[in-house]
């Protein structure tokens, strides 16, 4: 039970930092919406979505499915960005970049970890953050990968692509439970091993 609670805490903190990174990127590119809403904060209460953070993943787990959940997304008004279509791409990249940054920093700390507990803890942080980055880069709306694709597509195609968003979570859910996204974990393990993690820690 303690291991599960620790995993949940690591995932939640990592997701919060992911969302804050989106908000800061938007702020630096001209949109103060997240800052004005008080969302550029480490206060976890500001980032909890009762449905996505607790209810949905718990119900899916109880039903035997791969759980999927989310924190409350930071609000971004893309029209406030200096170059909306281009800057949307950078705002989207900021979240996965934050998770990759956490993984790289943790890999440095891993070299100096004083014992098995801290080595395993940092290994879990690295693997989960690499997984969050990889998962969010999947190009299915509303994941970050879709925003990156939208920033690269011509406007006409972008609008058509964005129409997938109402069924995007269903596509992701199906992909998780049909094994179509298993390649993400395989890639994360390969990169994790290069960073010196203990894969069996998770």
Distance CA(163)–CA(135), nearest Å, equals: 20
Number of Cβ atoms within 10 Å of the Cβ of 187:
13
The pLDDT confidence band at residue 118, using thresholds 50, 70 and 90, is very high
Q: What is the pLDDT of residues 13-48, one digit of tens each?
A: 999 999 999 999 999 999 999 999 999 999 988 998
Q: Mean per-residue pLDDT for 176-200?
A: 89
Q: State the chain's mean pLDDT as an integer.
A: 91
Residues with Cβ within 8 Å of 66's Cβ and at least 6 positions away in sequence, in order, are 60, 173, 176, 177
Nearest-10 crossing angle of helices 144-152, 155-162: 160
Specify the 3-state DSSP secondary structure of 177.
helix
Using CA atoms, how far residue 67 sits from 53, 127, 152, 200, in Å, is 11, 17, 31, 20
Specify the 3-state DSSP secondary structure of 153.
coil
* Nearest one of 96, 95, 78 to 87, comparing CA atoms: 78
The pLDDT confidence band at residue 57, using thresholds 50, 70 and 90, is confident
Q: What is the pLDDT of residues 73-100, one digit of tens each?
A: 899 999 999 999 899 999 999 999 999 9
Residues with Cβ within 8 Å of 137's Cβ and at least 6 positions away in sequence, in order, are 96, 143, 144, 145, 148
The residue among 60 and 10 whose pLDDT is bigger is 10
Which domain, by its residues, includes 32?
A: 2-201
User: Residue 3: is its pLDDT beyond 80?
Assistant: no
User: Residue 140: is its pLDDT beyond 90?
Assistant: yes
**Domain tally, the chain:** 1
Return the percentage of the chain with pLDDT > 90, whole number.
58
pTM reported for the whole predicted model: 0.91
Distance CA(55)–CA(60), nearest Å, equals: 9
User: Residue 65: is its pLDDT beyond 90?
Assistant: no
Q: What is the pLDDT of residues 141-176, one digit of tens each?
A: 989 999 999 989 998 898 899 898 889 988 998 998
Catalytic positions, written as ranges = 19
């Amino acid at each position: 039970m303690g291991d599960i609670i620790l995993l949940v805490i690591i995932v939640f903190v990592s997701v919060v930092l992911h969302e804050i990174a989106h908000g800061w990127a938007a702020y630096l590119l001209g949109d103060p919406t997240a800052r004005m809403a008080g969302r550029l904060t480490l206060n976890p209460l500001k980032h909890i979505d009762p449905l996505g953070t607790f209810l949905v993943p718990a119900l899916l787990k109880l039903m035997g499915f791969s759980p999927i959940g989310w924190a409350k997304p930071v609000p971004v008004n893309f029209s406030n960005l200096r170059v909306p279509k281009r800057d949307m791409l950078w705002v989207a990249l900021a979240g996965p970049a934050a998770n990759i940054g956490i993984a790289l920093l943790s890999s440095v700390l891993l070299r100096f970890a004083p014992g098995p507990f801290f080595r395993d803890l940092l290994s879990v942080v690295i693997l989960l953050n690499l997984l969050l980055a990889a998962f969010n880069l999947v190009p299915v709306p509303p994941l970050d990968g879709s925003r990156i694709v939208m920033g690269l597509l011509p406007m006409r195609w972008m609008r058509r692509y964005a129409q997938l968003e109402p069924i995007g979570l269903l596509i992701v859910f199906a992909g998780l439970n049909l094994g179509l996204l298993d390649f993400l974990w395989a890639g994360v393990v390969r990169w994790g091993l290069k960073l010196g993690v203990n894969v069996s820690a998770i």
